[in-house]
């Protein structure tokens, strides 16, 4: 009986080691599939969404609105940088994309005092 | 033999639990790496100007004393009166359709210039108009049917004859996004005089309303 127990113990150890190796392989393969996760994120904004901005009386940017944001992007962080003609940042801000029905307009505020006349480009990103 | 069976069952359970835990770790790693994925893009803006003259202006004034009369089309001056029972309000707008601006465009800067032809001690305030009107039909009684902002965008002193330029960037920016600029109602918010500003029909082009507009699209 002791011998049988010892054999079973060895078998158990071997089995667990095998599972461990298999798990490592699983992790490796799963890690390799993480690119598919990236595709899923891109899928919410496969096209470059259009941004507009509002100004105050002095012509400074008060907010940037990104139009037609798919619902799938809800919960992601929308970051926007206002750039001049040299693509130097004039101001940056971000906000979480909220939930809504259909295409949403995501609004980002808090760029500081940036004259709209000096803004020649927007750099935008969505992160999960 | 029974003890062997029990040991075998425990072994099977242990393997199942260990395997399940490993799979769980795998999913956690997936989520962690997925959270760092990024979608980025950029949007370049085109800058331009589209200054407005009397050629694209429409203006008129309405008279409390003649509540069903129109004054647009022929008047060379727009009168503004704060007198009780005889108030006059002026209206000015520009047709921006020639600028071919999409509703995603915006105003970087916009200034309205009017010329005071009859001065007085009034402060004239500009209230944004958000609904359609035409100088050929607008009357005092018709003003109540318009949607007009309750807060003045800006104001100027009519104390002396000559040009008065005010900044209207935010109003024009909003109008571009709305698709049409319906302009402003000009009303005396202080003072006691009847003042006049040049209309788009004024014989002198320098006395007509004009607007500078720098935009992005």
In tens, the pLDDT along B44-99 reads: 999 999 999 999 999 999 999 999 999 977 889 999 999 999 999 999 999 999 99
- Are residues A56 and B170, on separate chains, in Cβ contact within 8 Å? yes
| ipTM of the complex model | 0.73
> In this complex, is the C-beta atom of B49 within 8 Å of any C-beta atom belonging to chain A?
no
Closest approach of chain A CAs to the CA of B176, in angstroms? 11
pTM score: 0.76
Domain ranges, ordered by start, for chain B: 1-41, 47-216
Least confident of B14-23, B106-115, B137-146: B14-23
Structure tokens given for A58: 């002095």
CB of B180 within 8 A of CB of B74? no
Mutate to test the interface with A, among B26, B35, B213, B217 (most CBs of A within 10 A): B26
Q: What is the pLDDT of residues B152-174, one digit of tens each?
A: 999 999 999 999 999 999 999 99
On whether the A45-127 domain is CATH 2.60.40, my answer is: yes
Nearest chain B residue (CA) to A3: B4
Q: Phi and psi for A71 in degrees, rounded to 5? A: -60, -30
Alpha helix locations (H) across A1-113?
2-32, 34-43
Nearest chain B residue (CA) to A35: B34
Continuous segment of H or E residues that includes residue B141: helix B140-143
- Are residues B7 and A5, on separate chains, in Cβ contact within 8 Å? yes
Domain ranges, ordered by start, for chain A: 2-32, 45-127
Q: Position of tokens 């200034």?
A: B111
A21: helix, strand or coil? helix
User: For residue B10, what pLDDT band results from cuts at 50, 70 and 90?
Assistant: low
Give the per-residue pLDDT at A107.
95
Q: Could you report the average pLDDT of every consecutive run of 10 residues in chain A (128 residues)?
A: 53 44 43 43 72 95 94 91 97 92 88 97 93
């Amino acid at each position: 009986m002791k011998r049988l127990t010892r054999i079973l113990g060895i078998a158990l150890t071997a089995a667990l080691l095998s599972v461990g190796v298999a798990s490592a392989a699983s992790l490796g393969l799963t890690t390799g599939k993480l690119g598919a996760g990236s595709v899923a994120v891109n899928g919410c904004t496969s096209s470059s969404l259009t941004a507009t901005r509002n100004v105050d009386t002095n012509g400074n940017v008060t907010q940037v609105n990104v139009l037609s944001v798919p619902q799938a992007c809800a919960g992601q962080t929308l970051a926007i940088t206002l750039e001049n003609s040299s693509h130097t940042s004039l101001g940056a801000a971000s906000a979480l994309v909220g939930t809504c029905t259909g295409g949403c307009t995501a609004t980002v505020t808090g760029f500081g005092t940036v004259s709209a006349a000096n803004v020649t480009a927007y750099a935008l990103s969505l992160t999960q | 033999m029974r003890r062997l069976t029990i040991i075998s069952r425990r072994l099977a359970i242990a393997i199942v639990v260990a395997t399940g835990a490993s799979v769980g770790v795998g999913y956690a790693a997936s989520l962690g790496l997925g959270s760092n994925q990024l979608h980025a893009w950029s949007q370049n803006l085109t800058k331009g100007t589209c200054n407005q003259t009397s050629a694209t202006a429409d203006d008129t004034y309405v008279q409390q004393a003649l509540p069903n009369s129109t004054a647009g089309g022929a008047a060379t001056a727009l009168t503004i009166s704060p007198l009780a029972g005889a108030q006059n309000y002026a209206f000015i707008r520009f047709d921006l359709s020639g600028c071919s601006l999409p509703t995603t465009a915006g105003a970087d800067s916009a200034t309205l210039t009017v010329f005071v032809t009859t001065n007085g001690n009034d402060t004239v305030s500009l209230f944004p108009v958000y609904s359609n009107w035409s100088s050929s039909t607008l009357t005092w009684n018709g003003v109540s049917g318009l949607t007009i902002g309750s807060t003045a965008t800006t104001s100027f002193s009519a104390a002396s004859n000559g040009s008065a330029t005010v900044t209207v960037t935010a109003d024009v920016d909003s109008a571009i996004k709305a698709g049409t600029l319906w302009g402003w109602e000009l009303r005396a918010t202080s003072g006691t005089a009847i003042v006049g500003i040049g209309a788009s029909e004024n014989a002198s082009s320098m006395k007509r309303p004009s607007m500078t507009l720098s935009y992005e699209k």
